[in-house]
Structure 1
Amino acid sequence: MNIAFFLTPKNQVVYENPKSTMRQALERMEYHRYTSVPLVNGTGKYVGTLTEGDLLWKLKNTPNLSFNDTNKIIIQEIPRHISNKAVLISADIESLISLAKDQNFVPVVDDNGVFIGIIKRSDIITYCYNLLYKNKELKN
């Protein structure tokens, strides 16, 4: 099976530029109710994932940082505590599942590292559930 079957294309994904501010990321993540977003640089390359935890640790570890001051913090200056790995669009399903077990989503890149979308763990689980359920239904 081709992993592109599961792909949510870039134009349907909420992502952030590492040169954006912490406040922009906080507001975008709150608006969409996301706990993490891919980071895509100005040339379109996937450079990591920003999580709520990263933002919280930054707040905790920066004395006197108020919400109003988060517009002065650039995302690329925020340490990231989790390294979400991407897969190539040509990757096999085993590589995808191996990453998806530990990540809410798996970023997908082309051969040049350009971000082309994500594969959500929930979509993989739904697909597997349907396979199992249909197989069970056929046996009954």
Structure 2
Amino acid sequence: MLIRNCLTPRNELETVCLDTSVEKTLERLKEYRLESIPVLDRQKRFAGITGYGCIFKAWVFQGEPDGFFTAQQSISSTVQTVPVLTMDSDFEETLPIMVRYPFVPIVEDKGTFAGIVKISAIESALKCTFGYGMKGTRFLIGVFIDMPHVLEELLDSIKSFGVNIISIASFDAGNTAARRILLKVSPSPYDEQIVQRLTEKGFRVINVHSDHRR
């Protein structure tokens, strides 16, 4: 999965400039039913985000007790910095940003704002990766990282059953010497035979879940 496949480009987004007033920004948020909005400088470079939460926080800290905060001032003092990615970034780099911010900003050369990756786009990509919503059987398999030709052996083990692979993903098991492989295959009557074959091949089948039998 590439960043460009999930990108909502700048021309499809609402943005504000650093010198836009707080009042105008609030109007824009209300008009387009947004909670937050990208902020750009005059060179169309990404400066950060602002929104209801950022503006309220700025009002609290600047307006009370001795500060000065008005609806006519620019939103520059309300802008929150956000880590940015580029078109060449790996898709998985969006994940730590996604859990902390409302979207993932993407920039081109010299920081020019290219667009954003929305949380909904990341969610869709992850659903696709794990075969969410597709009927089948999911096998959770434990392997050792120094086991040679793991995927080759795994795929060879199920080849004779004629099942289609919906998804396959590998992830850390919390142990430096072990990993997990999550394999999802199309519905078939061979679930037990597949487990037996995998076991014979030296794989540890931790869990089997079939949603096509419900």
TM-score (norm 1): 0.84
CA distance in 1: counterparts of 2:35 and 2:82, whole angstroms: 13
CA distance in 1: counterparts of 2:90 and 2:44, whole angstroms: 23
Corresponding position of 1:86 = 84
Higher strand share: 2
CA distance in 1: counterparts of 2:29 and 2:98, whole angstroms: 21
CA distance in 2: counterparts of 1:136 and 1:3, whole angstroms: 28
CA distance in 2: counterparts of 1:62 and 1:98, whole angstroms: 32
Matched position secondary structure for 1:133: coil
Unpaired segments of 5 or more residues in structure 2? 137-185, 188-211
Q: Which has the higher relative contact order, 1 or 2, with Cα contacts under 8 A spaced 6 or more apart?
A: 1
How many residue pairs get matched? 135
Q: Per-residue deviation at 1:112? A: 1.4
Corresponding position of 2:115 = 117
Q: Single out whichever of 94-103 and 105-114 deviates more from structure 2.
A: 94-103
Matched position secondary structure for 1:125: helix
Q: Per-residue deviation at 1:136? A: 4.3
Which structure is larger by alpha-carbon Rg, 1 or 2? 2
Partner deviation per Cα, 1:29-59 (whole Å, 9 max, x = no partner): 1111111111111101001111211211233
Unpaired segments of 5 or more residues in structure 1? none
Seen in structure 2, the aligned counterparts of structure 1 residues 58 and 99 have a Cα distance that, compared at 3 Å, is closer
RMSD, aligned α-carbons: 2.2
Matched position secondary structure for 1:70: coil
Q: Per-residue deviation at 1:65? A: 7.5
Seen in structure 2, the aligned counterparts of structure 1 residues 90 and 51 have a Cα distance that, compared at 3 Å, is same
Choose which of 114, 125, 128 in structure 2 pairs with 1:127: 125
